[in-house]
């Protein structure tokens, strides 16, 4: 019996006699008499030996407060789904190399999977190590970038060692939850849309071997876009190939069938919405058309996973970015995705239209639909205290000396801000100050006075100044706005990874200060809101009954907002996102603290709104 038929396409328990044909006409004998877990017979899935159609939805545990996990799962069941699909974000569990991977509280993946099973949902896990997902660095930990020679997503020994260690921590927690052991996990993915990136078969085989060696005996699959090069570069010959797309399924399914003549048709990501980027438009899809294309998938005999079923939030610094050359675009904080179940758990028109379709192909739970989560009444809050960021440097980080500037990752920092300081000796006439390897945006100060802003999207733009006397103190505050999460340019260090040039000369002798801004209790606010940007501003708001709220910052420029010490994410007047989602679970009865870190322009108020505004 081949490795494919014994453990791959069918799962380890398969016994029996169906013929399965894969990619380029390859065919093997598959056995499935009384298998446990998810297996394949011809063009259909079997679950514990019985025909099973996967009606799945993507729900990312790292994008929803854990106290709301069960609520969202119940809403998924009412949508008509029988399976939950999730990525695993490596960097969410191990942001620093020196950290032991964290699987507690918000990161309790085992509890998330168990809870899904309790709510009647099977689970598909996509463990990475790369996930894309519009998540910072595609889920890879920033500390991989400490080694500039490492090659990512290929059979590079250094990369493989790091992945092997991570999988050694992650996968043993999941193997006992597989359907082959009586648990809810029915399948796992090998890598993620790899054909969009490369064609290293050894890389994929290594991941598969590691997964099998650690006890994964569930069905494995590779998902890719429908282009021929994606399917050929991103699949393994002995594992199920699936396809990701939006719109009408006819052409993508035809492409999948041309590559894999026999096997279940499975759209592992049906893009029922899309993500947004700062400075762009808010993307939506028509509910009726979207539901109609779901119907076409099911009429073709296919299985489907709605991406996304549950909208979420890129809290903190976790939003990713896309880049082509100098065209860098950061993803917004909201990951609502125009999903059937919104970022705050509301049931949308798309929910009802898709539910009508899914109800014809599966069972719907009895009883009324869940009500929308409660929200706070509208109101306005005024900041009452502030403190300058430059005046808080010693409280926010410790300086490290170096000849050339150090990128954020060399400072052992996964996200946040980096401060750079040097002395420019004079006298010197006016010159242009420019930065190579800027990630992503820098405010430039001379002797404490703001000179201007540098942006990676405008590499030819500099800041001009002169050194009239013996010297000037030069400060650069560099903000990270999201590591690239897709494509060939995912190596995207933050801070400064090149040189600071003043005219034709590189400046040396730097003080580097990493500021992850994880603990704002060290700040010493002063009454009044007069601190000049960049600065922190504090407000307090009394709440009777904690509930969801949507916070807007009219008149402010761009920055970060914290609620009771938890970062709700970035805001920006560039849009399209206007409000930040503040889950009810983060509010306290009585007094609550809001802190705004504003880079450019201070507003007067923070608005509490009853409804989201994503543009």
The catalytic residue among 134, 193, 343, 598 is 193
The residue with tokens 């700062």 is 278
Strands in 579-582's sheet, in edge-to-edge order, are: 379-382, 605-609, 549-552, 579-582
Q: What is the dihedral of CA 287, 290, 295, 301, to 10 degrees?
A: -150
Q: Report the candidate in 75, 98, 90, 181 with the shortest Cα–Cα distance to residue 133.
A: 90
| Sequence-separated (6 or more) residues with CB below 8 Å from residue 285 | 246, 272, 273, 274, 338, 350
| The two structure tokens encoding residue 147 | 């080694």
Rounded distance, CA 418 to CA 498, Å? 14
Beta carbons of 333 and 612 less than 8 angstroms apart? no
What is the 8-class DSSP label of residue 181?
Answer: G
Helix pair angle (349-358, 287-299), 10° resolution: 20
Beta carbons of 284 and 36 less than 8 angstroms apart? no
The catalytic residue among 191, 269, 479, 598 is 269
343 is catalytic: no
Q: Report the candidate in 520, 604, 607 with the shortest Cα–Cα distance to residue 562.
A: 520
Which phi and psi (to 5°) does residue 363 adopt?
A: -95, 145
Q: What is the Cβ-side half-sphere exposure of residue 538, based on CA atoms within 13 angstroms? A: 18
Rounded distance, CA 194 to CA 235, Å? 8
| Sequence-separated (6 or more) residues with CB below 8 Å from residue 344 | 373, 375, 548, 550, 581, 583, 612
349 is catalytic: no
Rounded distance, CA 50 to CA 41, Å? 10
Q: Is 250 helix (H, G, I), strand (E, B) or coil?
A: helix
Which phi and psi (to 5°) does residue 412 adopt?
A: 70, 25
Q: Count Cβ atoms below 10 Å from residue 163 Cβ, excluding itself.
A: 23
Catalytic residues: 193, 269
């Amino acid at each position: 019996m081949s490795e494919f038929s014994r453990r791959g396409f069918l799962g380890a328990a398969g016994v029996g006699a169906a013929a399965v044909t894969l990619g380029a006409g390859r065919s093997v004998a598959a056995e499935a008499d009384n298998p446990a877990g998810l297996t394949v017979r011809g063009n259909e899935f079997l679950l514990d030996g019985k025909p099973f159609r996967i009606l799945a939805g993507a729900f990312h545990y790292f994008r929803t407060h854990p106290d709301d996990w069960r609520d969202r799962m119940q809403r998924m069941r009412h949508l008509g789904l029988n399976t939950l699909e999730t990525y695993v974000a490596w960097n969410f569990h191990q942001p620093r190399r020196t950290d032991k991977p964290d699987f507690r509280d918000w990161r309790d993946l085992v509890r998330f999977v168990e809870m899904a099973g309790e709510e009647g949902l099977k689970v598909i896990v996509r463990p990475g190590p790369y996930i894309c997902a519009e998540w910072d660095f595609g889920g890879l930990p920033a500390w991989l970038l400490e080694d500039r020679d490492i090659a990512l997503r290929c059979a590079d020994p250094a990369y493989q060692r790091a992945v092997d260690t991570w999988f050694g921590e992650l996968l043993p927690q999941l193997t006992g939850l597989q359907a082959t052991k009586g648990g809810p996990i029915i399948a796992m993915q090998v890598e993620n849309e790899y054909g969009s990136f490369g064609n290293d078969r050894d890389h994929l085989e290594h991941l598969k071997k590691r997964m099998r060696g650690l006890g994964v005996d569930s069905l494995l699959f590779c998902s890719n876009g429908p282009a021929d090069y994606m399917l050929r570069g991103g699949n393994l010959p002995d594992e199920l190939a699936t396809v990701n797309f939006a719109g009408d399924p006819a052409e993508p399914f035809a492409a999948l069938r041309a590559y894999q003549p026999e096997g279940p048709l499975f759209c592992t990501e049906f893009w029922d919405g899309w993500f947004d980027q700062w400075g762009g438009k808010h993307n939506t899809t028509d509910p009726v058309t979207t539901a109609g294309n779901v119907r076409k998938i099911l009429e073709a005999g296919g299985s489907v996973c709605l991406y996304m079923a549950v909208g979420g939030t890129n809290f903190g610094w976790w939003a990713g970015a896309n880049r082509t050359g100098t065209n860098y675009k950061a993803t917004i904080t909201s990951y609502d995705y125009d999903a059937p179940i919104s970022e705050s758990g509301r049931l949308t028109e798309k929910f009802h239209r898709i539910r009508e379709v899914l109800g014809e192909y599966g069972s719907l739970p009895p009883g009324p639909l869940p009500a929308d989560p409660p929200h706070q009444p509208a109101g306005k809050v005024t900041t009452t205290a502030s403190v300058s960021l430059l005046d808080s440097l010693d409280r926010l980080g410790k300086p490290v000396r170096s000849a050339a500037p150090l990128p954020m990752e060399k400072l052992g920092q996964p996200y946040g801000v980096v401060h750079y300081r040097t002395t420019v000796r004079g006298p010197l006439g006016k010159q242009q100050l420019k930065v190579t390897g800027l990630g992503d945006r820098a405010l430039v100060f001379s002797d404490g006075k703001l000179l201007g802003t540098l942006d990676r999207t405008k590499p030819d733009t500099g800041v001009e100044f002169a050194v009239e006397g013996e010297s000037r103190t030069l400060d650069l505050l560099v903000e990270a706005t999201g590591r690239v999460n897709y494509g060939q340019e995912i190596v995207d260090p933050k801070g400064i990874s090149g040189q600071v040039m003043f005219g034709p000369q590189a400046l040396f002798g730097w003080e580097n200060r990493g500021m992850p801004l994880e603990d704002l209790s060290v700040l010493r606010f002063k009454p009044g809101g007069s601190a000049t940007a960049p600065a922190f501003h504090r407000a307090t708001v009394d709440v009777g009954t904690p509930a969801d709220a949507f916070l807007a910052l009219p008149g402010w420029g761009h920055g970060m907002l914290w609620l009771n010490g938890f970062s709700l994410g970035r805001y920006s007047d560039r849009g399209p996102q206007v409000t930040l989602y503040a889950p009810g679970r983060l509010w306290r009865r009585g007094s609550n603290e809001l802190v705004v870190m504003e880079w450019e322009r201070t507003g007067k108020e923070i608005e509490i709104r009853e409804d989201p505004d994503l543009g």
